[in-house]
């Protein structure tokens, strides 16, 4: 099985092998994501995610994927505090699906539900059963529904990104971050939508984005870049008055929330060029390289 972000030991769920196993919900403990500086987003999440995180595009192998930046440095998540709580209104679906995940089987088009066997809440003593009388419990059914919806939305997002590439709307986005203590570092290898090219699209191409409901995604992405300043404040230790976001069974892909942050800061965009992205340095989102299984 391919390496998956923060899944230390993913195994396929089996109604025989795991008939006595229970699971305690992740609740408000997101310590497993503490070293994850970016996660893939589905387009339907942009509306909520844009209020909290910079949404950019990054290369993942041969693909390009939209990601939410969670940190400015490698292995840094500025939204998970010392106690493991998520300090933002919206928790990305990529994170909320944990400890479950879908994986491909040997048969084309078939997928299996897996769980991170290393997750402490996966046990035989506490929590809710995953199977009863050989059938998935309501909790497991809800998790399976969430995973299937996630795959559906990600497939739509792939089509969206394909249109961006076909219309040559993506450009390099490089930013220099100036910390209060004088430290400087760069975010390289990222992509953003070129608004000038977007506005210059032929009417028929622009209508495709409008009719698909994805024009709003584009502007959510563009507006989200402004949240980079808040991230610099977080990195500098500026405290917010945000509450704790918690993931719940039955959550939808583009929703999931509680009170959130409102700081300010000093990040400057140094270039937006219509060139292929340079190799990532310093704080590029290395964790974005894992994408959902089809």
123 in any annotated domain = yes
Q: What's the CA gap between 193 and 274, in Å, rounded?
A: 10
Three-state SS string over the chain comes to CCCECCECCEEECCCCCCCCCEECCCCCCCHHHCCCCEEECCHHHHHHHCCCCCEEEEEECCEEEEEEECCCCCCCCCCECCCCCECCCCCCHHHHCCCEEEEECCCCCCEEEEEECCCCCEECCCCEECEECCEECHHHHHHHHHHHHHHHHHHHHHHHHHHHHHCCCEEEEEEEEECCCCCEEEEEEEEEECHHHHHCCCHHHHHHHHHCCCHHHHHHHHHHHHHHHHHHHHHCCCCCCCCCECCCCCCCCCCCCCCCCCCCCCEEEEEEECCCCCCCCECCCHHHHCCCCC
Cβ proximity of 70 and 38 under 8 Å: yes
* Higher pLDDT among residues 96 and 175, named by residue: 96
52 in any annotated domain = yes
* Those residues with Cβ within 8 angstroms of residue 64's Cβ, 6 or more apart along the chain or in another chain: 57, 58, 161, 164, 165, 170, 191
Q: What's the CA gap between 227 and 266, in Å, rounded?
A: 11
* Higher pLDDT among residues 251 and 20, named by residue: 20
- Give the Cβ contact number of residue 4 at 10 Å: 16
Backbone torsion region of residue 267, taken as left when φ is above 0, otherwise alpha when ψ lies between -120 and 50, otherwise beta = beta
- Identify the pLDDT of residue 241: 39
Question: Among 76-85, 98-107, 152-161, 211-220, which stretch is predicted with the lowest mean pLDDT?
Answer: 98-107
5 in any annotated domain = no
∠241-244-250 over CA atoms, to 5°?
145
Cβ burial of 114 (10 Å; 0-12, 13-18, 19+) is buried
Binning pLDDT at 50, 70 and 90, where does residue 282 land? very low
Asked if pLDDT for residue 52 goes beyond 80, the answer is yes
Q: What's the CA gap between 252 and 214, in Å, rounded?
A: 18
- Identify the pLDDT of residue 259: 29
104 in any annotated domain = yes
217 in any annotated domain = yes
260 in any annotated domain = yes
Give percent of the chain with pLDDT exceeding 90: 63
- Give the Cβ contact number of residue 65 at 10 Å: 26
Counting the structural domains of the chain, the total is: 1
Q: What's the CA gap between 62 and 195, in Å, rounded?
A: 24
* Higher pLDDT among residues 172 and 261, named by residue: 172
**Over the stretch 101-141, which tens digit does the pLDDT of each residue have?**
998 776 766 789 999 999 999 999 999 999 999 999 999 99
290 in any annotated domain = no
1 in any annotated domain = no
**Structural domain range at position 272:** 10-277
């Amino acid at each position: 099985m391919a390496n998956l972000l923060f899944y230390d030991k993913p195994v396929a769920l089996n109604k025989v092998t795991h008939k006595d196993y229970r699971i305690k919900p992740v609740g408000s403990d997101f310590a497993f994501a503490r070293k994850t500086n970016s996660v893939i987003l589905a387009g339907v999440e942009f509306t909520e995610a844009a209020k909290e995180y910079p949404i950019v595009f990054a290369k993942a192998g041969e693909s390009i994927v939209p990601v939410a930046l969670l940190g400015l440095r490698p292995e840094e998540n500025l939204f998970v505090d010392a106690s493991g709580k998520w300090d933002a209104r919206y928790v990305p679906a990529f994170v909320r699906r944990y400890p479950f995940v879908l994986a491909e089987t040997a048969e084309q088009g078939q997928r299996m539900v897996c769980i991170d066997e290393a997750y402490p809440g996966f046990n035989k003593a506490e929590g809710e059963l995953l199977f009863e009388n050989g059938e998935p419990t309501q909790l497991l059914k809800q998790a399976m529904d969430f995973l299937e919806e996630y795959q559906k939305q990600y497939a739509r997002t792939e089509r969206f990104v394909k249109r961006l590439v076909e219309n040559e709307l993506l450009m390099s986005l490089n930013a220099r971050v100036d910390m209060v203590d004088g430290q400087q570092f760069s975010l390289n290898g990222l992509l953003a939508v070129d608004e000038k090219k977007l506005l210059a699209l032929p009417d028929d191409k622009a209508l495709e984005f409008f009719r698909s409901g994805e024009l709003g995604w584009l502007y959510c992405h563009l507006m989200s870049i402004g949240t980079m300043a808040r991230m610099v404040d977080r990195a500098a230790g500026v405290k917010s008055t945000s509450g704790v976001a918690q993931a719940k069974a039955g959550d939808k892909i583009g929703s999931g929330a509680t009170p959130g942050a409102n700081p300010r800061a000093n990040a400057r965009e140094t270039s937006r060029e219509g060139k292929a992205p340079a190799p990532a340095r310093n704080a590029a989102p290395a964790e974005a390289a894992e994408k959902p299984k089809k």
